[in-house]
């Protein structure tokens, strides 16, 4: 018996160091801003087509509501809906009148705005080195809450620099090398807003980004890491053209009642300065309700998960797809927009993944973006936060 026990102990001790030294996987997470689901179905994306054969692809990738950039990049990286991770819009105000704005570097770097735990924080706690060539929330002051390596955002950074940057990271000595890297391209969002979803400009941008995916895969192969780097390519939201008669001026409907207003094309939040005016403003908007929906904050439908955050104003107006809300004069003249109902197919993005962890030639339906955080935890075999909205069981089937 003693002999058996000692043999068992020997086997256990012998097994455990092998398990501990199992190589960490690599994941490169690429976001193509505003890359609508059907852009990959236009016959101009041979590199994404190749990934369909070699890896996993989804029919569409559903954003969280509202379908705008910062909230959704945070939903992807934290596994939480915007109302829970704190970034409810690209710009908003907290209860103390402090503003979060994309263009305000101080606000963007202030960790107090970010309530969720980003995957790079989870990874760092688990001794995984991380890096980011851009991602909303990756530049916070608190070193423990950002990736080990990160870049200050530059909208005009050449594509080539970004690709060189991630290859350099992958060539670092093993004990300095990041295993989780994010990469971001804004191009399809910018061109989509400017020229619309059916323009020759958007098609050529789609083709350029697709060719960059090809270059990235080729460069990774050249450094001998093709089999070890898993690549996930996704987008934060889709895009929809604005009808020519689709402008709705909310100020004209409300009139001269003094209100704090947070106005973007798809969503306008309204807080009358005098609380007594809330019902009056709501009733005016309800009476004129056409091509938009108006809700009291508490009544925003549960399927949008947009009523529980303290920074959401008492009245929420959401435009129908194809319409655009303005408040007073507007000089912003985009021809296509996003931010609308996240269930509408025009707001859906793409999801592709390829690498040793993923099934091959596996096509699935619609995936939800809050499920990426638990998927990353599963790939790296680490425990993630439990207070998330994502669910590993909705996405685990993508893995081998
Ligand atoms: Zn975006």
What is the distance between the alpha carbons of residues 325 and 328, in angstroms, rounded to a whole number?
10
The residue with tokens 């950074």 is 157
**Residue 177 half-sphere exposure, CB side, CA atoms within 13 Å?**
17
301 C-alpha to ligand 1 centroid (Å): 23
2 C-alpha to ligand 1 centroid (Å): 64
- Band (pLDDT 50/70/90 cuts) for residue 2 is low
395 C-alpha to ligand 1 centroid (Å): 23
What is the distance between the alpha carbons of residues 16 and 18, in angstroms, rounded to a whole number?
5
Query: What is the percentage of the chain residues whose pLDDT exceeds 70?
Result: 95
202 C-alpha to ligand 1 centroid (Å): 15
3 C-alpha to ligand 1 centroid (Å): 64
328 C-alpha to ligand 1 centroid (Å): 25
The model's pLDDT over 139-185, given as tens digits with 9 standing for 90+, comes to 999 999 999 999 999 999 999 999 999 999 999 999 999 999 999 99
The model's pLDDT over 313-335, given as tens digits with 9 standing for 90+, comes to 999 999 999 999 999 988 778 99
102 C-alpha to ligand 1 centroid (Å): 12
CATH 3.30.1360.180 in the chain is located at: 247-333
**Residue 134 half-sphere exposure, CB side, CA atoms within 13 Å?**
21
**pLDDT value for 7:** 52
237 C-alpha to ligand 1 centroid (Å): 6
233 C-alpha to ligand 1 centroid (Å): 14
Among 208, 236, 249, 240, which residue's Cα sits nearest to residue 338? 240
Point out the least confidently predicted range of 49-53, 82-86, 98-102.
98-102
pLDDT at 46 over 50: yes
**pLDDT value for 103:** 84
7 C-alpha to ligand 1 centroid (Å): 58
Strands 362-368 and 240-241: unpaired
21 C-alpha to ligand 1 centroid (Å): 39
Backbone angles phi, psi at 107, to 5 degrees: -65, -45
Tell me the CATH architecture of domain 247-333.
Answer: 2-Layer Sandwich (3.30)
**pLDDT value for 6:** 55
Transcribe 290-309 into DSSP letters.
Answer: SSEEEEEGGGS-GGG--S--
71 C-alpha to ligand 1 centroid (Å): 9
pLDDT at 375 over 80: yes
Among 67, 80, 33, which residue's Cα sits nearest to residue 346? 67
* Residue 271 in tokens: 């807080």
22 C-alpha to ligand 1 centroid (Å): 37
205 C-alpha to ligand 1 centroid (Å): 15
127 C-alpha to ligand 1 centroid (Å): 30
4 C-alpha to ligand 1 centroid (Å): 61
360 C-alpha to ligand 1 centroid (Å): 28
232 C-alpha to ligand 1 centroid (Å): 17
pLDDT at 134 over 70: yes
76 C-alpha to ligand 1 centroid (Å): 12
**pLDDT value for 329:** 86
* Residue 251 in tokens: 């100020």
pLDDT at 17 over 50: no
337 C-alpha to ligand 1 centroid (Å): 10
73 C-alpha to ligand 1 centroid (Å): 8
280 C-alpha to ligand 1 centroid (Å): 34
Residues 250-265 have a mean pLDDT of 94
8 C-alpha to ligand 1 centroid (Å): 55
pLDDT at 25 over 80: yes
- Measured in whole angstroms, how far is the alpha carbon of residue 25 from the centre of its chain? 22
The model's pLDDT over 4-15, given as tens digits with 9 standing for 90+, comes to 555 554 544 444
pTM value is 0.94
355 C-alpha to ligand 1 centroid (Å): 26
**pLDDT value for 18:** 43
Among 186, 166, 30, which residue's Cα sits nearest to residue 102? 186
Among 85, 90, 130, which residue's Cα sits nearest to residue 108? 90
CATH 3.40.720.10 in the chain is located at: 23-239+342-398
Mean pLDDT, the chain, integer: 94
Residues 97-120 have a mean pLDDT of 94
pLDDT at 310 over 50: yes
Residues 22-43 have a mean pLDDT of 96
The CATH number fitting domain 23-239+342-398, selected from 3.40.50.720, 3.40.720.10, 3.40.50.300, 3.90.180.10: 3.40.720.10
């Amino acid at each position: 018996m003693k002999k058996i026990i000692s043999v068992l102990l020997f086997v256990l001790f012998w097994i455990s160091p092998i398990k501990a030294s199992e190589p960490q996987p690599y994941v490169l997470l690429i976001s193509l801003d505003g890359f609508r689901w059907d852009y990959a179905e236009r016959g101009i994306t041979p590199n994404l087509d190749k990934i369909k054969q070699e890896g996993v692809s989804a029919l569409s990738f559903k954003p969280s509501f509202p379908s705008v950039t910062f909230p959704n990049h945070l939903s992807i990286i934290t596994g939480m809906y915007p109302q829970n991770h704190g970034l409810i819009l690209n710009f908003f105000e907290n209860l103390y009148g402090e503003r979060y704005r994309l263009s305000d570097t101080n606000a963007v770097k202030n960790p107090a705005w970010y309530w969720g735990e980003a995957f790079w924080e989870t990874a760092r706690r688990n001794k995984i080195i991380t890096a980011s060539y851009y991602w909303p929330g990756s530049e916070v002051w608190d070193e423990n809450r950002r990736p080990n390596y990160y870049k200050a955002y530059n909208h005009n950074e050449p594509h080539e620099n970004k690709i060189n940057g991630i290859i350099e990271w992958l060539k670092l000595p093993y004990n300095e090398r990041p295993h989780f890297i994010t990469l971001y391209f804004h191009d399809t969002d910018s061109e989509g807003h400017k020229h619309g979803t059916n323009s020759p400009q958007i098609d050529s941008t789609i083709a350029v980004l697709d060719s960059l995916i090809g270059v990235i895969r080729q460069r990774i192969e050249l450094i001998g890491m093709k089999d070890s780097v898993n690549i996930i390519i996704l987008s934060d939201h889709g895009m929809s053209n604005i009808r020519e008669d689709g402008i709705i001026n909310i100020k004209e409907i409300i009139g001269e009642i003094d209100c704090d207003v947070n106005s973007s094309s798809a969503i306008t939040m309204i807080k009358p300065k005098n609380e007594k005016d809330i019902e009056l403003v709501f009733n005016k908007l309800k009476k004129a309700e056409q091509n938009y929906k108006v809700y009291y904050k508490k009544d925003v439908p549960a399927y949008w998960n947009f009523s529980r955050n303290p920074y959401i104003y008492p009245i929420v107006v959401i435009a129908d797809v194809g319409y655009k809300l303005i408040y007073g004069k507007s000089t912003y003249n985009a021809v296509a927009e996003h931010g609308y109902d996240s269930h509408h197919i025009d707001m859906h993005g793409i999801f592709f993944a390829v690498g040793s962890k993923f099934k091959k030639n596996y096509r699935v339906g619609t995936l939800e973006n809050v499920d990426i955080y638990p998927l990353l935890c599963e790939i790296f075999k680490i425990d993630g936060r439990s207070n998330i909205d994502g669910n590993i069981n909705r996405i685990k089937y993508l893995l081998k």
